[in-house]
């Protein structure tokens, strides 16, 4: 056993990984291999930019919370590369239920990229209703479960909806519960090779009249409604009172090993996969169905690489400033001042939602996150971007 637990860095795939834990609480193997040397120059620059942003954010929040501009932007065309090449995914497909959307995935300071995102505009029609699909999947133990969810979970949702009766009203709680359960079954059919792998999943199905969010794990969805950050999911953490009670009633334990973990191993109490931790870790999603209103501005879906270091309200405020164009000039200035001959500012031309997702991801790295970061921004209506059109 390791005496000084506090000195161990946060668990990563190949760094400080607990590969097995017996019911007695004994650790059979611990790999404390160090991380790759980070890019200290880049990290310092990001931290300095974050400090500037944070100071300016606090000042403007106090003085002019709605109309003030934000200082301390980041370079969009200079994507973060710490450890290895980042996977960056920008979405350009047209949507049927929202104004725009953009997404990004960065490896951050991890050795491996285990996150995945799925964006499926117009993935489902039911009678006269049409829906878009957005999903963020945060893998652990490897990327295969997250990739499997990215490739198949939306198809399972379609299959479940097709089994519903002819009425247009859909029992979304039942559809999501059965879809997540089937996804979990498909992953577990892979056998021992994937038994120690899993993934969180937060999914938003956006219709013209409603938004459905299904969450399993500690990724999160947040809605900005009338300038207020409204959580559409609650993180499944092992020390959440109801989750702790469920785990203990099923015979499991929550052990403090660099944070509260199921059997001292997993820092989330629900996930798809993780067959070796059942029945303590379950794939059942919590589903929230919200009626859309004219005050709904946008939704942020992200892995905990963002939420561990950026509060809901700050993320929404930053996104709002990106969507209403206040960040564009700073992006352009930063890009021009740092671009080389073979670089351009194309990174800011993918749309305001792309800018918002990219800015949030880099802000999280500047704030010191150690995890992969995946972000999807879904602009629900034009009220944000049009609010400053006449300014």
pLDDT at 61: 41
Q: Categorize the per-residue pLDDT at 326 as very low, low, confident or very high, splitting at 50, 70 and 90.
A: confident
Write the CA distances from 248 to 160, 242, 276, integer angstroms: 32, 10, 16
Whether 300 has a pLDDT exceeding 70, the answer reads yes
pLDDT at 97: 86
pLDDT at 96: 74
Are the CB atoms for 272 and 184 separated by under 8 Å?
A: yes
pLDDT at 164: 78
Enumerate the β-bridge partners of residue 201: 137, 216
**Which residue from 45, 100, 104 is spatially nearest to 75, judged by alpha carbons?**
45
DSSP E strand stretches across 208-326: 210-216, 220-225, 228-231, 254-256, 260-262, 272-273, 286-291, 296-302
Mean pLDDT of 153-165: 92
pLDDT at 193: 83
Angle at which helices 40-63 and 312-323 pack, to 10 degrees? 90
More confident residue, 357 or 8: 357
Buried b (16+ CB within 10 A) or exposed e, 256-292: ebbebbbbbbbbbbbbbbbbbbeebbbbebebbbeeb
Whether 167 has a pLDDT exceeding 80, the answer reads no
Q: Dihedral of the CA atoms 118, 202, 375, 147 (nearest 10)? A: -40
Region label for 251, one of left (φ > 0), alpha (ψ between -120 and 50) or beta (otherwise) = left
C-alpha dihedral sign at 187, 193, 195, 198: negative
Reading the block at residue 87, the tokens are 């996977």
95-129 residue pLDDT tens: 778 899 999 999 999 999 999 999 999 999 988 89
pLDDT at 228: 97
Mean pLDDT of the chain: 77
More confident residue, 363 or 70: 363
Whether 25 has a pLDDT exceeding 60, the answer reads no
228-284 residue pLDDT tens: 999 999 999 999 999 999 999 999 999 999 999 999 999 999 999 999 999 999 999
Measure the CA–CA gap between 231 and 215, rounded to whole angstroms.
Answer: 11
50-69 residue pLDDT tens: 454 444 444 344 433 333 22
Reading the block at residue 385, the tokens are 């971007």
pLDDT at 202: 98
Mean pLDDT of 334-341: 47
**CATH number attached to the domain at 5-386:** 3.60.40.10
Domain boundaries, the chain: 5-386
Measure the CA–CA gap between 391 and 388, rounded to whole angstroms.
Answer: 5
pLDDT at 336: 54
pLDDT at 328: 66
Q: Categorize the per-residue pLDDT at 385 as very low, low, confident or very high, splitting at 50, 70 and 90.
A: low
Whether 348 has a pLDDT exceeding 90, the answer reads no
Q: Categorize the per-residue pLDDT at 186 as very low, low, confident or very high, splitting at 50, 70 and 90.
A: very high
Q: Categorize the per-residue pLDDT at 30 as very low, low, confident or very high, splitting at 50, 70 and 90.
A: very low
Measure the CA–CA gap between 250 and 243, rounded to whole angstroms.
Answer: 11
More confident residue, 42 or 264: 264
């Amino acid at each position: 056993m390791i005496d000084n637990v506090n000195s161990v860095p946060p668990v990563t795939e190949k760094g400080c990984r607990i590969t097995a834990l017996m019911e007695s609480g004994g650790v059979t193997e611990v790999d404390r291999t160090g991380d790759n040397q980070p890019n200290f120059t880049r990290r310092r620059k990001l931290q300095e930019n974050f400090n500037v942003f944070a100071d300016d954010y606090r000042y403007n929040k106090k003085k002019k919370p709605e109309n003030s501009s934000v200082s301390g932007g980041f370079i969009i065309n200079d994507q973060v590369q710490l450890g290895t090449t980042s996977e960056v995914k920008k979405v350009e497909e047209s949507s049927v239920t929202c104004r725009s959307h953009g997404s990004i995935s960065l490896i951050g300071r991890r050795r491996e990229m285990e996150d995945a995102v799925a964006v499926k505009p117009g993935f489902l029609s039911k009678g006269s209703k049409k829906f878009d699909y957005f999903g963020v999947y945060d893998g652990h133990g490897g990327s295969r479960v997250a990739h499997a969810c990215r490739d198949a979970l939306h198809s399972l949702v379609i299959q479940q909806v097709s089994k519903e009766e002819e009425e247009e009203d859909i029992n979304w709680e039942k559809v999501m519960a059965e879809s997540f359960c089937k996804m979990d079954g498909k992953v577990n059919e892979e056998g021992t090779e994937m038994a120690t792998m899993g993934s969180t999943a937060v999914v938003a199905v956006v219709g013209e009249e409603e938004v459905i969010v299904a969450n399993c794990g500690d990724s999160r969805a947040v809605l900005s409604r009338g300038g207020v950050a409204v959580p559409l999911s609650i993180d499944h953490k092992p020390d959440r009172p109801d989750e702790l009670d469920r785990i203990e009633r099923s015979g499991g334990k929550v052990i403090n090993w660099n944070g509260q973990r199921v059997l001292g191993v997993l820092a989330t109490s629900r996930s798809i996969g993780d067959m070796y931790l059942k029945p303590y870790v379950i794939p059942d999603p919590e589903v929230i169905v919200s009626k859309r209103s004219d005050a709904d501005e946008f939704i942020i879906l992200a892995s905990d690489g963002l939420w561990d270091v950026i509060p809901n309200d700050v993320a929404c405020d930053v996104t709002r400033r990106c969507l209403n164009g206040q960040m564009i000039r700073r992006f352009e200035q930063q890009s021009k001042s740092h671009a080389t001959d073979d670089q351009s500012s194309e990174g800011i031309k993918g749309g305001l939602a792309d800018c918002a997702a990219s800015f949030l991801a880099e802000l999280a790295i500047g704030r010191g996150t150690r995890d992969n970061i995946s972000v999807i921004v879904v602009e629900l209506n034009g009220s944000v971007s049009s609010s400053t059109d006449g300014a």
